[in-house]
Amino acid sequence: MLALLSTGLLTGAPEEGAAPAGDPIEITSDGENSVLAGIASAQDNVLVKYKGDVVYCDRLTYNTKTKVAVCKGNVRIYTGDKVYRGDTLIYNFETKSIQSADFRMAYFPAYVAGDSVFTPGLNHYHIENGFFTTDNREDPAFKMRARTVELYPDDSIVLKNIVVYAGSVPILWLPIYAQALDDDRAAYQWTAGFKSSFGAFFDNEYNWVYNSRLKGTVHIDMSEKRGFAGGVDMFYKKDDNNKAVFRSFYSQDNLYSDGPPRGSEAKYAYPDVNSDNRYRVSYKQNFLVGPDFSILADVNRWSDPYVTLDYFENEYQHEQQPDNFVQMVQYSPHYTISLLMRDQVNDFFETVERKPELKMSFQRQKLFDTPISYEGETSVTNFERTYSNTDTTSSNLQSYGAYRYDTYHQFLYPKQYFNWLNITPRLGLRGTYWSDDNSVIDDYSSDGYENKNPRGRFVPNLGVESSFKVSRVWSDVKNKDMGIDGIRHVAEPFVNMQYIPGVYGASPNDIRGFDDRLASTRLAPINFPDYNSIDSIDRQAVVRHGVRNKIQTQRDGKNYDLIDWAIYADLDIDQNFSGNNHPYSNIFNDIQFNPFPWLTFNSQSSSNLYDDTYSEYNNDITWQITRAYRVRFGNRYIHNSELFENSDLFTLNNFYRLNEHWQFETEHQFEASDGDLQEQAYTIHRDLSAWLMSATFKQRYVNDRQNELAIYLSLTLKAFPATELTTGLK
């Protein structure tokens, strides 16, 4: 039997005071149904549909005025991506509020149940004597039972008075636990094992969530050799323009004052310390505090140069010397004003302080109604170069400083000729003045005291950029298996010339400088103001030329780049820009080849034209050969470089999924220049449904007398992918 209702509109004349007609509600059932005084009843395989919501139950009572349904017997409610289950549920189709006893809910990745539930507000569910898991099985391997559960879909879940179970065995009690539903961090994780520099260790990490904007982590660690350590991290994010990170760490290191830590044989000498107190405090922020006005900060205080090497080795590989600055930026479409303050917070790191630097930059823009464009920048900086108190290479050097006043202005005339040729000539002038403390000492008074002379200069520059595009289409080239629907080749030859006839005034050899050019195996920019090493500017005549190529096809109605390839080089006419003794630089090739989602190739190469210059080749290929097998192969080659040792490093990674339970992975690094297998690792993964168990053997080459061996077992709870329970020997 079928009963079809409309909100507030029943069969026959509407009741007095009934709600006006609205979206229809459809109720079907196999048994009896009736409508009396605005109350609809149905039983036996009841199905209700309203505004995308679907309800199944054995018996139903529905109030057409309040839009509230009382559902009994095998109740299932589907609304959006949520699923509610229970024996008796009271559901409001308009407000989405729910009340029940014997409640169950599925909302990926959360599965929640409880003795009773009600909704204090929109998207807020209060559950008594609750059950929570992210393991979607009838008998989950991991679960939490809590006195109360507060669930906020799309936001977070908060449990209080909790017992954590592994299967049916209670393993942990927590007073409170909060987790963002879009946060894959583990609520709690621990790592246990052995390291030669720590002995036996046991690390604990507790992650907490206050709300969708604020979350954090508490670390409590202990080790046999180094003692206790710990810290607190906090993360705040309102949006991409308003976020901050605070990290802290402290250790009373039992080993530190006894001798140099790992890595101290490098650049920095071992500091004379009498304390075992080691710490790291950092704060980073990016806040938009007004219309187009931002405050950025990166502040880091370390106890010594090696605290991250010893305790956060992965971080040390990316940042061996932290920055310390505060910057205020006012942005507009035409200009940017910034005030930067950089200080030597850690006296064991050499720092070029800016106390402060005020800069005003003008974006490239039309000059009134003329075809001429203008760009430029002006800055005033109070520099101070402060050397490290532990740097063996600069222990005899004294700090020095100066004010630098710099202004740069450039005019451009961009124009397209013949509807295809782009030419932009440019003309610029830079003026720079350094106060007396920064000059190279070349004069002494009669009594032996040095005369420090201020320095100044003017630097004119001329240049021109030109480019054009040519293309050809082969629309009849099609291959369904390779995803080819026509081929288009786009070529863009380009040339960029920069000429500085001379430096009128102080040359780079007359000043000690603060922002000298950093050496690199890649080409530096030649345009001003992109080239920002102001103190090293010298006479220059460079022609950068090359061609960009794209091979494209059509996929899903859009252009898809199969190959993106740029080849370019510099002609250094007076051999003063590159530092080489030859007019031509290396030839650079940057290639991205992405024919399929399962096959990618990336290459960056720098090929030498002369025997006394360097060569560099970096290549990577990833191939998903089958759904079960993936291989990655890479090569890093550099030879005859003044910056890096000769190297010819090959890397190979294999991952094979035998079935849904077993996976195998290998990793190899081979240095062909000296024949050393620098690293080899073999891992077996066993999928245990809610858990992933991995066993790894790893050997790393350190030097001719030492190899590092690691054998460890890790157990990862897939319900929280970041959770790792690790034991091992390293």
Q: 202: which 2 tokens?
A: 């046991």
Average pLDDT on 702-716 reads: 65
Identify the band that residue 728 occupies on the pLDDT scale cut at 50, 70 and 90: very low
Task: List the single range of 260-269, 395-404, 451-460 with lowest mean pLDDT.
Answer: 260-269
Q: pLDDT by residue (tens digit) across 486-535?
A: 999 999 999 999 999 999 998 888 888 888 777 788 888 999 988 888 99
Determine the pLDDT at residue 394.
52
Ordered DSSP codes for 478-538: EETTTTEEEEEEEEEEEEEEEEE---EE--GGGB--SSPPPP-SSPPP-STTT---GGG--
Is pLDDT at 203 greater than 60 in this prediction? yes
Q: What is the mean pLDDT of residues 147-159?
A: 78
> How large a percentage of the chain has pLDDT more than 90?
39
Distance (Å, whole) CA 682 – CA 278: 35
Instruction: Provide the pLDDT confidence category of residue 5 given band limits of 50, 70 and 90.
Output: very low
Q: Residue 614 corresponds to which tokens in the numbers above? A: 């360097």
pLDDT in tens, 268-322: 444 545 567 899 999 999 999 988 999 999 999 999 888 888 888 778 877 888 9
Q: How far is CA 429 from CA 414, 516, 532, in A?
A: 18, 20, 14
What pLDDT is stored for residue 94 in this prediction? 85
pLDDT (mean) for 86-96: 85
Lowest mean pLDDT among 166-170, 625-629, 661-665: 166-170
Whether the model clears a pTM of 0.75, i.e. scores above it, the answer is no
Confidence of residue 257 (pLDDT cuts 50, 70, 90): low
Distance CA 695, CA 685 (A): 7
pLDDT digits (tens, 9 = 90+) for 354-383: 999 999 999 999 998 899 999 999 999 999
Q: Which of 629, 701, 711 is nearest to 670 (CA)?
A: 701
| SS3 assignment, position 314 | helix
In this structure, the strands spanning 188-195 and 724-729 are parallel
- % residues pLDDT > 70 (the chain): 82
* Structure confidence at residue 460 (pLDDT): 97
Closest of 357, 355, 356, 402 to residue 377, by C-alpha: 357
**Mean pLDDT, range 332-338, rounded to an integer:** 94
Residue 287 CA to residue 555 CA, distance in Å, equals: 40
Q: Is pLDDT at 723 greater than 50 in this prediction? A: no
pLDDT tens digit sequence for 543-564 = 999 999 999 999 888 889 999 9
- 446 or 607, higher pLDDT: 607
Pair of tokens at residue 368: 């009134």
pLDDT value at residue 263:
40
> Which among 237, 244, 246, 241 is positioned nearest to 211, based on CA atoms?
237
Of 429-433, 459-463, 674-678, the one with minimum mean pLDDT is: 674-678
What 3-state class would DSSP assign to 405? strand
- Of 125-129, 195-199, 299-303, give the range with the top mean pLDDT: 299-303
Q: How far apart are CA 168 and CA 147, in angstroms?
A: 18
Angle at 17 between CA 11 and CA 21, to 5 degrees: 50
User: What is the chain's alpha carbon radius of gyration, rounded to the nearest angstrom?
Assistant: 34
Q: Is the peptide bond before 501 cis (omega within 30 degrees of 0)?
A: no
* CA atoms of 75 and 41, how far apart (whole Å): 15
Q: Which residues have C-beta within 8 Å of that of residue 21, sequence separation ≥ 6?
A: 6, 7, 8, 9
Cβ contacts of 240 within 8 Å, gap of 6 or more: none
Given this model, what pLDDT does residue 508 score? 86
Task: Report the pLDDT value the prediction gives residue 448, as an integer from 0 to 100.
Answer: 44
Q: For residue 271, which of 243, 306, 244, 319 has the smallest C-alpha distance?
A: 306
557: which residues sit within 8 A by CB, 6+ positions away?
Answer: none
On average, the pLDDT of the chain sits at 82
